């Protein structure tokens, strides 16, 4: 720190004023002194042209992203179309309620109208066979048992 000493002067370089070549003076016009921020630049004097070297790479990335998006859209469209067709096929089945003769059970059958094949059945074949076997066993037990019971309870699975 310098206390009370002679102030040191620092030499600065002279800045040369730039001459604007884009200003065209019209004949008969009066010179006006305005601050730089209030002056209007002529159309020829604008910002320098900016060249983005990465623009092509960005465009290529955007094109690739658009291409991927189009492919994903096509795949999604195909999936939704397949799901729609599957839903239509599912709705195109004939539904029937049938009473099974062996078990006296109500059976819901869904059949394909084109082939007549049973697509889905409730209760399934295994359950119906178990019920029929159970019914046969109960009837055999009744035949061998004494007919002394007045009321009979029937069991179904």
Q: Determine the pLDDT at residue 22.
A: 58
Residue 117 lies in a domain: yes
Structural domain contains residue 75: yes
Q: Is residue 69 part of a domain?
A: yes
The count of domains in the chain is 2
> Could you give the CA distance from residue 72 to residue 81 in angstroms, rounded to a whole number?
14
The closest of 80, 157, 92 to 119, measured between CA atoms, is 92
Distance CA 117, CA 125 (A): 14
Q: Name the average pLDDT for the chain.
A: 80
Average pLDDT (13-39) is 70
Residues 141 and 99 in one domain: yes
Asked whether residue 32 is domain-assigned, the answer is: no
How many percent of the chain have pLDDT more than 70?
74
Confidence label for 65 from pLDDT (cuts 50, 70 and 90): very high
Mean pLDDT of 123-150: 85
The whole-number average pLDDT for the span 138-147 is 81
Q: Which residue has the higher pLDDT, 146 or 59?
A: 59
Distance separating alpha carbons of residues 7 and 29, to the nearest angstrom: 48
Same domain, 102 and 115: yes
Residues 82 and 124 in one domain: no
Determine the 3-state secondary structure of 152 from DSSP: coil
pLDDT (average), residues 103-130: 90
Cite the beta strand spans of the chain per DSSP E: 94-99, 106-111, 118-122
Which residues does 117 contact at the CB level (< 8 Å), separation at least 6?
A: 111
Residue 133's pLDDT is 93
pLDDT in tens, 2-23: 566 666 666 666 666 666 665 6
State residue 69's pLDDT score.
96
Domain that holds residue 60: 53-92
**Same domain membership, residue 120 and residue 108:** yes
pLDDT for residue 91: 75
Sheet holding 118-122, edge to edge: 94-99, 106-111, 118-122
Tokens of 84: 């729609």
Supply the pLDDT for residue 20: 63
Q: Which positions ≥6 away from 58 have C-beta within 8 Å?
A: 52
């Amino acid at each position: 720190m310098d206390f009370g000493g002679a102030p040191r002067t620092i030499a600065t370089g002279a800045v040369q004023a730039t001459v604007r070549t884009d200003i065209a003076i019209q004949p008969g016009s009066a010179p006006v002194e305005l601050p730089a921020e209030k002056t209007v630049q002529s159309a020829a004097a604008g910002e320098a042209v900016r060249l983005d070297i990465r623009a092509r790479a960005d465009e290529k990335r955007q094109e690739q992203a658009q291409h991927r998006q189009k492919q994903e859209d096509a795949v999604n469209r195909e999936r939704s179309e397949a799901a729609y067709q599957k839903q239509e096929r599912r709705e195109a089945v004939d539904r029937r309620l049938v009473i099974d003769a062996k078990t006296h059970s109500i059976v819901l059958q869904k059949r394909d109208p084109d082939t007549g094949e049973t697509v889905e059945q409730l209760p399934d074949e295994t359950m119906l066979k178990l019920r029929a076997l159970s019914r046969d066993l109960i009837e055999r037990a009744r035949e061998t048992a004494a007919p002394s019971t007045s009321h009979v309870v029937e069991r179904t699975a």
